Amino acid sequence: MQTLPWQNELLDSFTQPEDLLDYLALPSDGLARYEASERFPFRVTRSYASRMEQGNIEDPLLRQVLPLTEEMTYHPDYLADPVGDREAIAAPGVLYKYRGRALLITTGSCAINCRFCFRREFPYHQSQLTKQRENEGLAYIANDSTIREVILSGGDPLVLRDERLNVLLQKIAAIPHVARVRIHTRLPIVLPSRITAKFTQCLTRTQLQIVMVIHANHANEFDDKVRAGLAELRRAGATLLNQSVLLKGVNDRTQTLMELSEALLQAGVLPYYLHLLDKASGTAHFDVPLQEAALLHRALRERLPGYLVPRLVREQAGAPYKIMV
């Protein structure tokens, strides 16, 4: 199979913290980073790294990806599966938690590995929707006529090739009760070259309504290429929403969250959710306490038009919806 330019870019990603630190003119110090990145591999695209500030160890983009010693600290409230994903596995590659919506774990791969990821320890090898399991997973959805929406998640569904996504969309479109597909992806942010004409054709060809939820956490994540890619997605008819995670040292200030909302709107994306951190083991150093989160959210409501204020939510295992804070 021919390797596409965006796939080459993926292959060219940073996979060693030392290399990224070198690139940013930062001293490559703590050996402890290796321990942390053995537990959850290190991976960052060059495109994303190019938006980090040289020489700044506190850069908000760097902080999202840099393994720290703190990850190795055990904390009893932080779990391997903080949101009850394993309980929600309904069929091969299918999570079913909320009425009317089924979520497909399309792949375990991502273009970057975010240190705060709640699926850091998800058993992808047993539970992702491989090509072989695709029909089994889709049969589950075809059998439940209450499912109106299929969510492509992972990992990141956009690391899959267009051919595979196309087939998946066609098979979903053939299920009469499914009206729309929602794609949760970080690639428009971390690998904008992924948004090719061939990909946007997949979106325009399908009868399904397409909603894309991108994951941006900071205004610095936007540059001209990111905005151009998002404009292409809108041209293809996709509704664009954003979800972020509230992260200590990344976006836990009113000003930063306001700038994020403004940057999103400028790129044609509306804020959807601002998630409290899911307490996955190794992520405690990112936690913003509930009280503080509520104050930040109130400050946003006082300063921004309603449509630029994301809903502050927390996911609770077993709850029938994401809990509004």
Smallest distance, ligand PLP to C-beta of residue 221, A: 21
Footprint (CB under 6 A) of ligand PLP, residues 126-165: 151
103 binds, among ligand SF4, ligand PLP, none (CB under 5 to 8 A by kind): ligand PLP
Name the residue type at position 1: M
Nearest alpha-carbon partner for 43 in 15, 18, 23, 85: 15
Is 46:77 a contact under the CB 8 Å cutoff?
A: no
Question: What does DSSP say about strands 101-105 and 149-153: parallel, antiparallel, or unpaired?
Answer: parallel
Locate 129 and state its tokens.
Answer: 């929707």
Q: Could you say whether residue 211 binds ligand PLP (CB under 6 A)?
A: no
Closest CB to ligand SF4 among 92 and 155? 155
Smallest distance, ligand SF4 to C-beta of residue 72, A: 18
Q: Could you say whether residue 325 binds ligand PLP (CB under 6 A)?
A: no
Closest CB to ligand SF4 among 93 and 155? 155
Close Cβ partners of 259 (under 8 Å, ≥ 6 residues apart):
219
Return the range that interacts with ligand SF4 (CB under 6 A); candidates 110-118, 123-131, 299-307, 317-325: 110-118
- In the set 117, 189, 210, 288, which binds ligand SF4 (CB under 6 A)? 117
Nearest alpha-carbon partner for 168 in 128, 113, 127: 128
186 binds, among ligand SF4, ligand PLP, none (CB under 5 to 8 A by kind): ligand SF4
Instruction: Compute the C-alpha angle 119/122/123, nearest 5°.
Output: 165
Is 114:64 a contact under the CB 8 Å cutoff?
A: yes
Q: Could you say whether residue 103 binds ligand PLP (CB under 6 A)?
A: yes
- In the set 83, 110, 160, 219, which binds ligand SF4 (CB under 6 A)? 110
As a whole number of angstroms, the distance between CA 185 and CA 173 comes to 20
Half-sphere exposure of residue 30, counting CA atoms within 13 Å on the CB side?
12
Q: By the criterion CB under 6 A, which residues form the site for ligand SF4?
A: 110, 113-114, 117, 119, 155-156, 186, 215
